[in-house]
Amino acid sequence: MRPLFPPWSDTLLRVCAATVLLGAGAAIAVPMMYVRTPYGTGQANPLVQPLKFDHRHHVRDDGIDCFFCHGDARRSPSAGVPPTEVCMGCHGNLWGKSPELTLLREKHAANEPVAWQRVNGLPHHVYFPHDVHVKKGVGCVSCHGRVDLMGQVFQAEPLTMEFCLECHRDPALRLRPPSEVTNMEWQPPSDAKEARALGQQLMRDNQVHAPVECSECHR
Ligand code: HEC
Ligand code: HEC
Ligand code: HEC
Ligand code: HEC
Ligand code: HEC
């Protein structure tokens, strides 16, 4: 008797089954991989800002401290973006006629804010306080990278839950004297023992307790 199914049907069935399984696997794995890529975490999103504000000029060349424009980072949960008055303090007469600054002058005259595009952002279910981190000596560079070298700011770190927890579990080596938080070039001692000792001392001096309880970040 001829077999009901030809011999190759077995192979076909296996290939089909494998395809379905792989497909199902990929349907789960691909999004899981995607959310961890720079695109998924928003790190690679190109943004077009209304004005060509350049941190390299302002921070590096002109030596303006981060707090001059983001002073809220010291006293409130959000770091904020400076109002046009802060810019006009210099640009009222400096480069007063530059076409690059037309929009700034218009917004200032109309008493309206510049509509900056947001670069870094967490979902609404996460609470992140700048002031606490700044006071305890976590440098801006830890979460925002070398902003002083960025022509246009981009999200430098993934800002995922794992990113936060990695530091919270053992912050000692990531701390610096609070006076150095805006210093983009501060480095811990190169000797590992000394670095650990300084970290431990900063933990004690500033009574650092970085929480890992869910309710601290999800309020
Ligand atoms: C002269 C004012 C000024 C100074 C000084 C300044 N910034 Fe900014 N910063 C801005 C403005 C304006 C924006 C919004 C436009 C943009 O994103 O480039 C901004 C945006 C940012 C952003 C992105 C905000 C977002 O939407 O997520 C970060 C991060 C940032 N600044 C960090 C820093 C750090 C760190 C320093 C010090 C090393 C610094 N800035 C110094 C004016 C300033
Ligand atoms: C402490 C003084 C100071 C403040 C405050 C300041 N700037 Fe400037 N800005 C400068 C100087 C100096 C330059 C010249 C660029 C350079 O350093 O090469 C400049 C250049 C610029 C330029 C480029 C102009 C051109 O013609 O190329 C833009 C755009 C600009 N600033 C926007 C801003 C905005 C927006 C703010 C507020 C968030 C701001 N600046 C705050 C000093 C300042
Ligand atoms: C421990 C990480 C961390 C440190 C340290 C930190 N930031 Fe941020 N920053 C963030 C996160 C996360 C956001 C997005 C906040 C959100 O969406 O609620 C943000 C947002 C911002 C913004 C956008 C406006 C806002 O308030 O949301 C600016 C500007 C900024 N940071 C500047 C700074 C400056 C300047 C410093 C140092 C003085 C600093 N940050 C230190 C994590 C950090
Ligand atoms: C490089 C280290 C570092 C990173 C990264 C970091 N933190 Fe923290 N965080 C700290 C330290 C240190 C403290 C402890 C502050 C203290 O002792 O009061 C802290 C405290 C906190 C607190 C407690 C605030 C309070 O009122 O006591 C919250 C909430 C928090 N962090 C949220 C976050 C979130 C959300 C992220 C990620 C977006 C993050 N942190 C990333 C170092 C970090
Ligand atoms: C130090 C701050 C911090 C702590 C502590 C923390 N989370 Fe989160 N969590 C975050 C951040 C930041 C995100 C947003 C991640 C993103 O957008 O990729 C997040 C996202 C989430 C999400 C959404 C899914 C996801 O991965 O984006 C869940 C669910 C969650 N957290 C549960 C928890 C639970 C349960 C705990 C306690 C065991 C906890 N978290 C503790 C910071 C924290």
The CB of 113 under 6 Å from ligand 3? The reply is no
The CB of 122 under 6 Å from ligand 3? The reply is yes
Over residues 102-135, the pLDDT tens digits come to 999 999 999 999 999 999 999 999 999 999 999 9
**Are 98 and 57 a contacting pair, CB within 8 Å?**
no
Nearest CA to ligand 3 atom 3: 143
- Determine the Cα–Cα distance for residues 89 and 217; give it in Å rounded to an integer: 37
Over residues 3-34, the pLDDT tens digits come to 667 666 676 667 656 666 676 767 767 666 66
Query: Where in the chain are the domains?
Result: 55-81+116-217
Over residues 42-83, the pLDDT tens digits come to 676 668 899 999 999 999 989 999 999 999 999 999 999 999
- Determine the Cα–Cα distance for residues 118 and 109; give it in Å rounded to an integer: 23
Number of Cβ within 10 Å of residue 148's Cβ equals: 20
pTM of the model: 0.92
- Determine the Cα–Cα distance for residues 77 and 60; give it in Å rounded to an integer: 26
- Determine the Cα–Cα distance for residues 116 and 85; give it in Å rounded to an integer: 15
